[in-house]
Amino acid sequence: MTDRTCAVLVVGGGPGGYVAAIRTAQHGLDTVIVDAGPMGGTCLNVGCIPSKALIHVADEMAAVSNHAELGRLGIRIGGDPTIDLAATVGWKDGVVGRLRTGVERLLDAAGATRITGRAVIVDGKTVRIEQADGSSLLVRAEHLVIATGSRPVELPHLPFGGPIISSTDALALTEMPAELVVVGAGYIGLELGIAFRKFGARVTVVEMADRILPQYDSALTAPVAKRLAGLDVPVLLRTLATGWAAEDGALVVGDHDGHEQRLPADRVLVTVGRTPVVTGFGLESLDLGMDGKFIRVDDRCRTSMRGVYAIGDVTGEPMLAHRATAQGELVADVIAGHRRAWDSVIPEVCFTDPEIVSVGMSPERAADAGVDVITETFPFAASGRALTLDRGDGFVRIVARREDHLVVGAQAVGAGVAELSGELVTAIEMGSTLEDVASIVHAHPTLAESIGEAAMKALGHGLHVR
């Protein structure tokens, strides 16, 4: 076993870990980053990026498959299109590979040392790295950053393997399942379920709650539910998946009345959440303070042990790549001696069809917090840009404190609204009022105009909707 010392050791190469390593190295600190897998972590390799690539292909497939709608627009296509899923996955892997190479080059350019291997924490200053060739490296660091991310939750009665697949497995399929059952109507399940339906698979969704996407309010999820019905995707609510009947090739489910049925399936995609990776690498030796299953951190991402930090999914909800990235940058600055503290609004985006974006307080959250708010919406049915895109479903909603018109939240549901998240989060971060947002001159025709229209409507002088 050979030894190495460094100023900063980052365990985990995901969007939080690699950003922390780049930034600490840019600060001139000797930095080592270790991961058993490729740089980029779950998001880049088997999560955000590959899923969005598949969603894009699915949207393209749906566009050319819907002959009736294209005919209405004046487009004529002969014959039914087919999907070569292996070729699609190959293209997706190419996109992932380019981005992964970019991350590696950024780390190298910053001066960080990349090590591939399994990290095992010995103590708060020492980590043993078990490398693929069987050798071990003992790294001693002044500062340890834990960025180990999360993994899909596995149900005891539906363990992954064979026809029971995780989101990681679904993104690697090279043959189209004829029948796909999705367990869990959260954002991962619906994003992938909608994509596979557009590819041509028959998809059924099973959800134990009484509605889809329970983390969002019903006004935001209603357009998604309507779209699922339009795509002929049955959604079985208040229904539990209880087991796999291998002899029938079917998922056994039961509803709230105790009625059981079997759903034929070539694949069962289990998407019932993600859990932080806090075991299997010696974390228990540190005896860190925990918040339930998450590592407890303060507003500088410091754990209960001096010199040990944690960022990303291991620190709690929302488990989102951009939150991890922001924490990675912050913790690097803190380690370098800069005065930083966490005080950020995190946008949440669901890439279903239609998309959902939520920033800050919803009307319900404001009510729960005792904040008296003004809430107004602007429907995309009144948006020139939305109608020219042939997608008038959805709306933009703005939430402002009644006493001073300070914008405390904003949400949207509609085709392409993920790209509105930047303006919505900026409005809140910059302390904008309804008057500020209403006075912005937006380009016409754009979806972003709807944000200003919602603000004007909240002030009582809406222009393009009553």
3-class secondary structure per residue, 172-222:
CCCCCCCEEEEECCCHHHHHHHHHHHHHCCEEEEECCCCCCCCCCCHHHHH
Query: Which residue among the candidates 27, 67, 442, 444 is catalytic per the annotation?
Result: 444
Beta strands 113-116 and 31-35 are parallel
Residue 386's CB is within 10 A of a number of other CB atoms, namely 25
Q: With H, G, I as helix, E, B as strand and everything else as coil, classify residue 279.
A: coil
Residue 243 to residue 51: CA distance in whole angstroms: 27
Structure-block tokens of residue 247:
């002899």
Structure tokens at 23: 């930034």
What is the DSSP pairing of strand 274-276 with strand 179-183? unpaired
Tokens of 264: 């034929």
Strand locations in 272-403 (E): 274-276, 290-291, 294-295, 308-310, 348-350, 355-360, 373-379, 395-401
Distance CA 182, CA 256 (A): 18
Residue 398, class by beta-carbon neighbours within 10 Å (0-12 exposed, 13-18 middle, 19+ buried)? Answer: buried
Examine the residue annotation and report whether 444 is marked as an active-site residue of this protein.
yes
Cα 73 to the center of its chain, rounded Å: 33
> Can you tell me the distance from the alpha carbon of 236 to that of 306, in angstroms, rounded to the nearest whole number?
49
Distances (CA, A) of 63 to 71, 338, 386, 390: 11, 50, 16, 12
Residue 142, phi then psi, degrees to nearest 5: -75, -35
Chain centre to alpha carbon of residue 424:
18
Closest by CA to 297, choosing from 284, 311, 287, 285, is 311
Q: Which two tokens stand for residue 206?
A: 């099973």
SS3 content of the chain, % helix, strand, coil (to 5): 35, 25, 40
CB atoms within 10 A of CB 173: 20
Angstrom distance (rounded) from CA 356 to CA 217: 11
**Phi and psi, residue 448, nearest 5°:** -65, -25
Q: Which residues are catalytic?
A: 444
